[in-house]
Amino acid sequence: MTTKRDAGDELSFLPSPDHTMLVGLASLVGLISALAASTLHIVTELLGTLFLAPERLLELADPSSAVHLLFRDELDRVRLVEPIGGAVIGLSIMGLGVHRTRRRASREPAGERARKRSRALLVGAVLIGAALLYTGLSYARCVSVAIDSERLGVPPLFEATPAWKLYLLAALGGVALGYLRRAIPPNEPSDVPRIMAAVALRSGAMSAKPGATFALGSMVTVSVGGSVGLEGPVVVAGATTASWLGQRLSLNRERLRVLVAAGAASGIAAAFNAPIAGVLFALEIVIGEFALTTFTPVVLASVIGTVMHRALEGEHAIFPNATFELRTGYEIFLYVLLGLVSGVVGSVFVRSIEATRAAVSRRLEVVPVLLHPAIGLVAVVTLATLTGRYEALGTGHSTLAAFLEGDVLGPVVLLIVVTKIVSVSLTLGTGGIGGIFFPSVFVGAGVGTLFGIVAGEIVGSSVAGPSSFALVGMAGVSAAVLHAPLTAAVMLFELCNDYDAILPLMVATILATLVATRTLSGGVYQRSLRRFGIVLSAGREQNVLRALKVADAMTPHVQTLADSTPLRRMQDVVESSSQTTFPLVDHEGKLSGVLSLSDLRAVLFEGGVIDDLVVAKELGHREVHVIRPSDDLGTALDRLSGRSFEHLVVVADDDPRRVVGLLSHQAVMDAYKKGLARAGLFEQG
């Protein structure tokens, strides 16, 4: 008997329908992430100009001004082909997935079909919103180019601004950041570590509000002089948007995790105009693994993100003067030394940020947390004013371009690098909002430039100029800070597009990472997670265990015994209870000890005169191993492993002597298996 072939069988060479739809969603996420990247950069430039030089915006209203004429010229260059093409690709792939699931959907309940229609409407609404945002950004970019025809960006405006105005902006902006900080949970990581934790512990599920607040806060920080980068917030914006979309579409955990990684990849790809580096960033840092099922959506999102960025910002490289030269093979030994130096500098950079954060928490504890960012930003402006090095303010894109052109002298480079490290530490250590990725690239460019100048003085003209060493230094320091040598090497290769740079980049990034590994035992993102008790290096299975709480596995409302209970009464309780461990409480109901069934065995059946002479506290143990409901199961398992007792006594978070439950090793393992099953790492039989 023959059966009618399913429509999907005709396309058996394609991935599964669900995976096809995931790839289509990744295309959509690539579009959105690129728009988020452009939004952050364009709006930040406009805010900076509005704060520092509002007269430039006023010139735009004069039809006869050069600014207005340049604005009209830029309007003629607005392009719609690439974004329309990207949207068509994404919709086509998703449409194919929908077509292949129609037969299956026809057999589903009406309620399920209605939910799928609402999801399709949501995707359509998102595409319409993306098209409107692209149109608005196109006009905003024309304004940004017109008011800054030399494309210097915000930082050069700081030097031309009166000191009193810089201090005022820093103070007001800092207070605004203090209020914005309230929307970011203080007991959770922010920036890229938040994405890493969400992917590892919750399969990418996260709230959109902290991510949006982080992106807004980073724009404010940079606009008023804070020394941070926008690339980290771009990653957060892309990944958060992907998570929001995936949750609204009810994707399962594994697909949601992949979609979030796609959002992060396209964000980096758009920010640096480097699609391969975006893919590697998502796989090396965000997910921490390379898998074929993950690779396809992430690559497509990264490519579409780059195409969208080029449509909006133009096809020019982020640093057009980034060129590399290798004059002799012996120069590789200099790059070996530069890699070691970069590792040391990267370690110092990370330690400086952490030391500043620790010092602020100790010495400013009497100052309201709301004012901490303002104090930090005022200190950054003071440092720039005293040293005369305003290059450390803002993101520093224009200064980095000067490094690559070789236009900065050695002593000045050293002062800029030191000022930048201190400024970034003050900004982030006091609660400023922004990323560490680009500041590490900036510091690396300065270190490489200085190294190249010194090498040229010692060796002579037989080595390349400082700009080549600046490129490798950018990769070396960022690899040391992030512990991501592959991402750093490929990103800088994409920026210079010269195969001669491959070997120096690989050598420098590997050595820098090795040095930083010995001195830091983890990249800046991993160390940030450890402050919140999150350890990701042990693998996804261990991360699942850390994501589960004691409250998820404990036995609540357990039987307790008064520590004055006589043996006769204890016999009755034991016979009527399935428990093998009994917390002991005093006359106030507070924990005073613990009694196990094995403690009772020696006297339980002796009976006679000792029934009324022996009480619970004489048989039990005063030393009690406790844990709280908010602790994770990884901590609980550590306390249970290799110990003689069978249970941990669970006490209230707000009262270490109020018993709220018991936790056994078996309960931990049962909850662990369920968590693995939800994460797609274990099949329950």
What's the number of domains the chain is made of? 3
Same domain, 505 and 474: yes
Give ∠ CA 91-92-97 in degrees, rounded to 5.
95
- Cα–Cα distance, 493 to 500 (Å, whole number): 9
Identity of the highest mean pLDDT range in 288-292, 301-305, 673-677: 301-305
Nearest to 650 by CA among 556, 511, 532, 513: 556
What is the pLDDT averaged over residues 378-407? 84
Asked if residue 369 belongs to a domain, the reply is yes
User: Residue 171 has what pLDDT?
Assistant: 92
> At 600, is the pLDDT very low, low, confident or very high (cuts 50, 70, 90)?
confident
Distances (CA, A) of 18 to 22, 32, 99, 191, 678: 6, 21, 11, 30, 18
Q: Which of 92-101, 170-179, 474-483 has the lowest mean pLDDT?
A: 92-101
Asked if residue 628 belongs to a domain, the reply is yes
pLDDT, tens only, 533-562: 676 655 555 666 777 888 888 888 888 888
Task: State yes or no: pLDDT of 349 exceeds 90.
Answer: yes
Same domain, 500 and 557: no
Task: State yes or no: pLDDT of 77 exceeds 70.
Answer: no
Same domain, 441 and 487: yes
Identity of the highest mean pLDDT range in 21-35, 176-190, 480-494: 480-494
Percent of the chain predicted with pLDDT > 90: 15
Same domain, 512 and 586: no
Domain-ending residue, one of 475, 503, 534: 534
> At 426, is the pLDDT very low, low, confident or very high (cuts 50, 70, 90)?
very high
Asked if residue 276 belongs to a domain, the reply is yes
> At 172, is the pLDDT very low, low, confident or very high (cuts 50, 70, 90)?
very high
Backbone dihedral angles phi then psi of residue 435, each to the nearest 5 degrees: -100, 165
Q: What is the DSSP string of 414-461?
A: HHHHHHHHHHHHHHHHTT---BSHHHHHHHHHHHHHHHHHHHHHHH-T
Same domain, 254 and 357: no
Domain-ending residue, one of 262, 281, 313: 313
CATH number at residue 579: 3.10.580.10
- The range of the structural domain enclosing residue 231 comes to 13-313
pLDDT, tens only, 308-334: 877 777 665 566 667 788 877 788 899
Same domain, 167 and 264: yes
CATH number at residue 498: 1.10.3080.10
Nearest to 627 by CA among 551, 566, 533, 542: 551
Identity of the highest mean pLDDT range in 336-350, 450-464, 484-498, 661-675: 336-350
Asked if residue 683 belongs to a domain, the reply is no
Q: What's the distance, CA 192 to chain centroid?
A: 1
Same domain, 517 and 551: no
* 278 neighbors 236 (Cβ within 8 angstroms): no
Domain-ending residue, one of 255, 283, 313: 313
Distances (CA, A) of 247 to 253, 308, 516: 9, 24, 37
Task: Locate 3 and state its tokens.
Answer: 């059966």
pLDDT, tens only, 262-296: 888 888 888 888 888 888 888 888 877 776 767 88
Q: Which of 7-11, 129-133, 610-614, 652-656 has the lowest mean pLDDT?
A: 7-11
Q: Select the more confidently predicted residue: 530 or 108.
A: 530
Same domain, 31 and 166: yes
Asked if residue 539 belongs to a domain, the reply is no
Asked if residue 395 belongs to a domain, the reply is yes
Give ∠ CA 97-27-46 in degrees, rounded to 5.
150
User: Residue 543 has what pLDDT?
Assistant: 62
Instruction: HSE, CB side, 13 Å, CA atoms: give it for residue 265.
Output: 32
Computed from CA positions of residues 577, 579, 582, 587, in that sequence, does the dihedral angle turn out positive or negative?
A: negative
Asked if residue 1 belongs to a domain, the reply is no
User: Residue 59 has what pLDDT?
Assistant: 74
DSSP 6: P
* 448 neighbors 474 (Cβ within 8 angstroms): yes
Same domain, 182 and 241: yes
Q: Select the more confidently predicted residue: 94 or 527.
A: 527
Asked if residue 324 belongs to a domain, the reply is no
What is the pLDDT averaged over residues 100-108? 53
- Cα–Cα distance, 298 to 645 (Å, whole number): 48
User: Residue 466 has what pLDDT?
Assistant: 85
Same domain, 432 and 571: no
Same domain, 573 and 498: no
Same domain, 522 and 500: yes
Q: What is the DSSP string of 194-236?
A: HHHHHHHHHTT---HHHHHHHHHHHHHHHHTT---BSHHHHHH
Q: Which of 189-203, 207-221, 302-316, 610-624 has the lowest mean pLDDT?
A: 610-624
**DSSP run (H or E) holding 77:** none
Task: Locate 345 and state its tokens.
Answer: 């500098």
Beta-carbon count within 10 A of 547 CB:
20
Indicate the residue type of 608.
G
